Chains A and B, each alone.
Chain A
Amino acid sequence: MKVLVTVKEVAEVEDDFEIEGTEIGPQYLNYDLNEWDDYAVEEGVQVGENVDDAEVVAVTIGPERSEETIRMALAKGADRAVRVWDEALEDVDLLDVGAKVRLLEAVVEEEDPDLVLSGVQAGDDAFGATGVALADAIDFEWAAVVNHLGLDVDEGVAHVHRELEGGVDEVTDVETPAVLTIQTGINEPRYASLRGIRQAQSKEIAPKDLSDLGLSAEDIESDLRLTDMYEPETESDATYFEGGPEETAGQLADLLRDTGVAE
């Protein structure tokens, strides 16, 4: 049994930032493992712990900097990692879903997994589409926004809950091999232990470029082009309480008394 977990290193923006062209100034960005992928890694590692002879492989498409992030997946228990990158990707400012799917499809062909876990969405550009598009490309079954997974390896069925709107779960049986997009809260992601972090240093991260994957620059041509980025005009017509904490708290308390919320 092999589980492939797709992970992305995402950028988080500081409170104060500036936009340069169609990008946020690099000095305002902090990189981290995508929140949703953290849960996907944990789910993959748990599957690995419960199934005999399981291997958990993490894959990322990202520049050298993202080795740090994929090492986090290794430190949390993934057995091995693949990092896809190519010079041709350097200048692409928006790698669209189609391009990502072509890259991941090539990795799936090499790895031949039984289960692929991705996150529901990447916290930065938030397409929320890569997992399901990949499933169609590799002819796997799939389920989006999974917040519960019970895997029956012998039957080849994943019993999942899909989290719909309004606090309702859809209960679904999905035949494997499958791609599941993992929702936050499905489990409790572990912290990497010191031992895990040490072990991760010696685990393999296989670098793959386009030619390693049998692809060419055409395959990553994106149909989407980012043409502008700006701070949304604030629609705020809020009354701001000013001053130190005592003053602002005092004003808010007055408001709450005036409106009858408090006495």
Chain B
Amino acid sequence: MTDVLAVAEHRRGDLRDVSFEVITAGRELADEAGGDLHLAVVGGDVDGFAERLNREGVDRIHTVDEGEEFNHDVYAQALTQLCDEVDAGYVLTPNSVNGLDYAPAVSNALGLPIVTDVIELDAGGDGLVATREMYGSKVETTTELDADRAVITVRGAEWPPTEGSGDAEVSAFDADIDESAVRSTVTGFQEAGGGDVDISEADVLVSVGRGIEEEENIGLVRDLANALDATLSASRPIVDNDWLPKNRQVGQSGKVVTPDVYIAIGISGAVQHVAGMKGSDTIVAINTDPNAPIFDLADYGIVDDLFDVMPALIEEFE
């Protein structure tokens, strides 16, 4: 019998969706391991959060009333202590930017192995088997844990959010925070981007990725966007290279877009990119690699060199 401790996530006063997904994943794991599902919520309006997190499948909710916003030192200390207190075998957190800012520290503090960005979990047999991707989603792997305790971070949108209301017991956990070990301070937030266009408003997006190779070649994609009266967007490397401004970036750390048509040109379809465009109505992909993950989402595909297809396509509309 192994208990699971899942961790909720919130930012600037709101619970994030992953909180409800991690409950679903945690319940599954707890069922397989024959234990209870504990849920921790650290900082912010913990009582209000606890009420909203009291969903089907949660056995106990532990509130840690420390601070308003996320602070990884507080999280790491509180969760390490809570895990010991409730004697949980598995600590389950979102594989979010904040998750990756405390989960590895918790794993090290507890002396537990960590397995991150997991897309499937199976604790039905002996020990735990985690499925993850490698090489930019080109392969999937299964990893077996020799230990019967671990810290696990789960990928967003892989488990559905839990729905029904629950009857978990809610209690305050009095963490003993060593303030001298809190050596970082969040001083604020800053919205990136802004600027002239809002790609999330566009009906048609022509989106360019690293397959374009050189800055000079962006013109090719721009010409198509102009011909279609569409808006130009991009994957992250294009923006990292300053070939297009930040407000054109689609994905986890850019914009979430839901156009009628999304044309992905030389984009592989990495999970962080897909997070921003999978809600598009019709997805068209042009890519030389027939196994590129973008084709898993695409409604229409062309497996060919963009430098051959793009000129022909532009010509069609001249």
| Interface of A toward B, CB cutoff 8 Å | 11-13, 15, 17, 19, 22, 24, 94, 96-98, 101, 120, 123-133, 135-137, 141-145, 161-175, 184-185, 188, 222-232, 234-236, 238-241, 244-246, 248-250, 252-253, 255-256, 259, 261-262
Contacts and interface: CB of A to CB of B under 8 A. Distances in A.
Contact of B97 (A101, A141, A165): A165
Given A136-B105, A168-B189, A253-B317, A96 B113 contact: yes
Contacts of B95: 128
A229 B291 contact: no
Contacts, number: 261
Contact of B316 (A126, A166, A174, A249): A249
A145 B113 contact: no
Interface string B97-131: 11011111101110001111100000000000100
Contacts of B192: 163, 167-169
Contacts of A120: 100
A225 B135 contact: no
A236 B101 contact: no
Given A127-B114, A142-B72, A253-B316, A236 B295 contact: yes
Nearest to A39: B240
Closest A-B pairs by Cβ, 4 of them: A249-B312, A185-B240, A223-B113, A133-B104
Nearest to A144: B101
B129 A240 contact: no
Contacts of B143: 94, 224-227
A252 B302 contact: yes
Interface in B281-318: 282, 284-285, 288-291, 295-305, 308-309, 311-313, 315-317
Interface stretch (B19-27, B162-170, B250-258): B250-258
Interface string B202-222: 001000000000000000000
Contacts of B160: none
B44 to A, nearest CB: 14
Interface residues of B, number: 98
A174 B184 contact: yes
A97 B291 contact: no
Contact of B298 (A167, A226, A238): A238
Contacts of B282: 259
B135 A24 contact: yes
A227 B132 CA distance: 12
B177 interface: no
A184 B308 contact: no
A238 B303 CA distance: 11
A163 B193 CA distance: 12
A137 B317 CA distance: 60
